[in-house]
Amino acid sequence: MTGCWQTHTRMKRANAAMLRIAAALLAAAALAWSQFKPANPEQQRPLEPLPQKAPGQQPTFAIKVNLVRLLVSVRDVSGAVVTNLNKEDFRVFDSGVAQDITVFERNTSLPLSVAILIDTSGSTEKDLHFEEDSVLRFLPAFLGAGNPADAFALFSFNWRTNLEVDYSRSQKRAERALHALHGEGGTSMYDAVYLVSDTLSDRDGRHVMVLVTDGGDTTSYKKYQDALAAAQRADVVMYPIVVVPIANDAGRNTGGEHALATLAESTGGRIFYPDGFERLDDAFRQIIQELRTQYVLGFYPKNVQEEPRRFHPISVQLQNPTLKLSARSGYYEP
């Protein structure tokens, strides 16, 4: 009997000790929670009241964290890149309202994610190898300088969009994938822009899309406006390269080319018309130069109407009117 009593006593003491340990852990967890701070306090803006409500209604507060970032390229009248401007040389307007530039960086080294889209529709079959070879020469030039976190992905598109190489720095994988491409079917260019924009949207740093095509869209489910909205929501800068072996407008899809030019302008990029396949390398060289000399401007929108998924037109202006800049035409609220 005495042995059973001693055993029971030891069990009670052990249970009491476990309860004390559990209580201590709960107290420590509560203290840790109370001391939690945002991982990046500079990204956290203070609570601000929304516009005044009618009498009797409770005030509503919102956390302002919507930094809008713009990638800007500037050239002079001769087309040479201008890299020595200061923050004071720029003015930014959101929906016509002047904004304060709170982030400024020249020749930015922010990581680049470059999505390369190759048109593999039937109309490209004959000359596809020129595009493949030029991309293979572009990759080492792109990866050989800049941020070591820079990465590329390779997509092909005809009537459907295929991911050939996911975001990485593997030139060997790209070489194998490019040499396996062949042309067939129609051209779903807007579908490709729409789908590839989604792959860029959550990646860190800058988002760039290089699209090599002969300029037409024949089989997309998505429309031009869908493609543009997807690119703008993902903060993508587009660089279409239109390769058309026919100089006569009668043999070209000028409507498709115009759409690509507008996509490029609206996202802050440029369109290229290489004079023959042998000039593809020059287009890629100019794209690399522009990516290495971009300005980054950032602002927190103020005095503008805010509404989820609302589009805000943006205007970026320079103090020197002789210079020409490229910047996206607007952004969507989350």
Are 299 and 102 a contacting pair, CB within 8 Å? Answer: yes
Please report the pLDDT score of residue 104 as a whole number. 97
* Percent of residues, the chain, with pLDDT higher than 90: 69
Number of domains in the chain: 2
Judge if 168 and 220 occupy the same domain: yes
Listed in order, strand segments (DSSP E) in 148-294 are 151-157, 161-168, 206-213, 236-242
52 and 124 belong to one structural domain = no
* 245 — pLDDT class (breaks 50, 70, 90): low
Query: What strands, in cross-sheet order, belong to the sheet with 151-157?
Result: 161-168, 151-157, 112-119, 206-213, 236-242
From the list 295, 296, 269, the residue with the least C-alpha distance to 283 is: 269
Q: Is 257 found in the same domain as 137?
A: yes
Q: 133-140 — which CB contacts under 8 Å span 24+ positions?
A: 134/212, 134/277, 134/280, 134/281, 134/284, 135/174, 135/178, 135/212, 135/284, 136/171, 136/174, 136/175, 136/178, 137/281, 137/284, 138/281, 138/284, 138/287, 138/288, 139/171, 139/174, 140/171
On whether residue 285 sits in a domain, the answer given is yes
Q: Provide the pLDDT for residue 171.
A: 96
Length of the chain: 334
Choose from 20-29, 168-177, 215-224 the range with maximum mean pLDDT: 168-177
| pLDDT one-digit tens code per residue, 90-110 | 999 999 999 999 999 999 989
What value does the mean pLDDT of the chain take? Answer: 84
What is the Cβ-side half-sphere exposure of residue 97, based on CA atoms within 13 angstroms?
A: 12
Q: 34-38, 105-109, 263-267, 306-310: which has the minimum mean pLDDT?
A: 34-38
In this structure, the answer to whether residues 92 and 71 fall within a common structural domain is: yes
- Quick check: 11 pLDDT over 70? no
Q: Are residues 181 and 226 in the same domain?
A: yes
Closest CA to 178 of 161, 158, 152, 156: 156
The dihedral built from the CA positions of residue 225, 231, 237 and 239, taken in this order, carries a sign that is: negative
For the stretch 185-215, pLDDT in tens is 999 999 999 999 999 999 999 999 999 998 8
Query: Average pLDDT in the 231-247 region?
Result: 88
- Say yes or no: 183 and 319 in one domain: no
Q: Which of 27-41, 79-93, 123-137, 241-255 has the lowest mean pLDDT?
A: 27-41
Give the whole-angstrom CA distance, residue 93 versus residue 327: 12
> Are 167 and 97 within 8 A, CB to CB?
no
Q: Is 28 domain-assigned? A: no
Q: What is the pLDDT at residue 277? A: 73
Tokens (6 digits) for 52: 């005044």
pTM: 0.79
Let me know if residue 39 belongs to a domain: no
Mean pLDDT of 109-114: 95
Q: Is residue 14 part of a domain?
A: no
CATH of the domain at 234: 3.40.50.410
Q: When comparing pLDDT for 10 and 75, which is higher?
A: 75
pLDDT at site 77: 96
pLDDT of residue 329: 97
Range of the domain at 52: 47-106+295-332
Average confidence (pLDDT) over 228-252: 82
Residues 273, 218 within the same domain:
yes
Any domain includes 242: yes
Band of residue 113 on the pLDDT scale cut at 50, 70, 90: very high
Residues 6+ apart with CB under 8 A from 32: none
Kindly state the average pLDDT of the residues 30-47: 34
Q: What does the alpha-carbon distance between residue 305 and residue 299 come to, in Å, rounded to a whole number?
A: 15
Question: What was the pLDDT predicted at 252?
Answer: 58
CA distance 257 to 255: 5
Residue 3: its H or E element: helix 2-34
Residue 38 lies in a domain: no
Specify whether 266 is located in the same domain as 232. yes
186 domain residue, yes or no? yes
- 158 and 88 assigned to the same domain: no
pLDDT band, very low/low/confident/very high, at 153 (cuts 50, 70, 90): very high
Binning pLDDT at 50, 70 and 90, where does residue 49 land? very low
- Report pLDDT for 251: 52
Question: What gap in Å lies between CA 274 and CA 219, rounded to an integer?
Answer: 25
151-157 and 112-119 as β-strands: parallel, antiparallel, unpaired?
A: parallel
Please give the helix or strand (H or E) that residue 115 lies within, else none.
Answer: strand 112-119
> Which residue would you say has higher pLDDT here, 295 or 1?
295
Q: What is the mean pLDDT of residues 312-326?
A: 97
CA atoms within 13 A on the CB side of 10: 6
Burial class (CB in 10 A: 0-12, 13-18, 19+), 217: buried
Residue 161: pLDDT above 90? yes
103 vs 298: CA distance, rounded Å: 4
Do 282 and 188 fall within a single domain?
Answer: yes
What ranges make up the beta strands (E) of 1-106? 47-49, 61-63, 68-75, 90-94, 97-99, 103-105
Q: What is the pLDDT of residues 50-93, one digit of tens each?
A: 445 455 554 444 444 589 999 999 999 999 999 999 999 999 99
Residues 52 and 141 occupy one common structural domain = no
Is the pLDDT confidence value at 271 over 60? yes
Phi then psi for 224, rounded to 5 degrees?
-55, -45
Q: Kindly state whether residues 201 and 283 are assigned to the same domain.
A: yes
Q: What is the separation of C-alpha 101 from the centre of its chain, rounded to a whole number of angstroms?
A: 20
